[in-house]
Amino acid sequence: MSWTDERVELLKKMWGEGQSASQIAKELGGVTRNAVIGKVHRLGLSNRAGSTSSSSSDSSATKAEAKPKAKAAAPKAAPAPKPAADSKPDLKTESAEPRALPISARNKIIPAGQPLPPQPSANEISPEALAKVNEVEKKAKKLSLMELTERTCKWPVGDPATEHFWFCGLPVQQGKPYCEAHVGVAFQPMSSRRDRRR
């Protein structure tokens, strides 16, 4: 793959948006994050806004996209439909609000037949997200509490008081306690703010 004008543009755009080199590379396809970083440097646009130390513990942006700089409309000749090799619906759930973590509350043992409030499932989560979860649960590694690690999805499934209980165990999404699918249902798109009854 070569750095065509379009690819470079996307690179600039994404880099400007604070996307990581690996994400950009993934999006572009055909290049590694090293290539992206190398290109970024060659283009002379290294540091983005202030924060040099990349990343590290999750972080992520909690800030909204603010582009004080309005770019003059350039006479684009060709809209070019970019059919990214594999384009998945971008799921940038930046402004999401975490709901109560269903992680087994502490290490408390829940007696059988007792109420299990947390289980967030049939709520007002996007049906797609739920469907995704159901699908994922089939592939779940079904780990036990003690098998969980920092990199395993800690989403609980089933009733803790029965045999039919396990944790998802799939690879977590960086910085999150759950796998992608479960992050989808754990974090609401920001809304669902029930009207205060009064």
Residue ranges that bind DNA, judged by CB under 7 A:
1-3, 19-23, 31-35, 37-42, 46-47, 52-57, 150-151, 174
Q: How many CB atoms lie within 10 A of CB 169?
A: 22
* Residue among 36 and 157 whose Cβ is closer to DNA: 36
Q: DSSP readout, 104-155?
A: -STTPPPPTT--------SSS--HHHHHHHHHHHHH---B-GGG--TTB---
Question: CB of 55: closest distance to DNA in angstroms?
Answer: 4
Residue closer to DNA (CB basis): 87 or 174: 174
Angle between helices 21-28 and 33-43 (to 10 degrees): 110
Looking at the Cβ atoms of 47 and 107, the one nearer to DNA is 47
CB of 151 to DNA, least distance (A): 6
Element (H, E) at 21: helix 21-28
> What does the chain come to in residues?
198
Instruction: Write down the least CB distance from residue 167 to DNA, Å.
Output: 18
Least Å from the CB of residue 176 to DNA: 12
Nearer to DNA, 35 or 110 (CB): 35
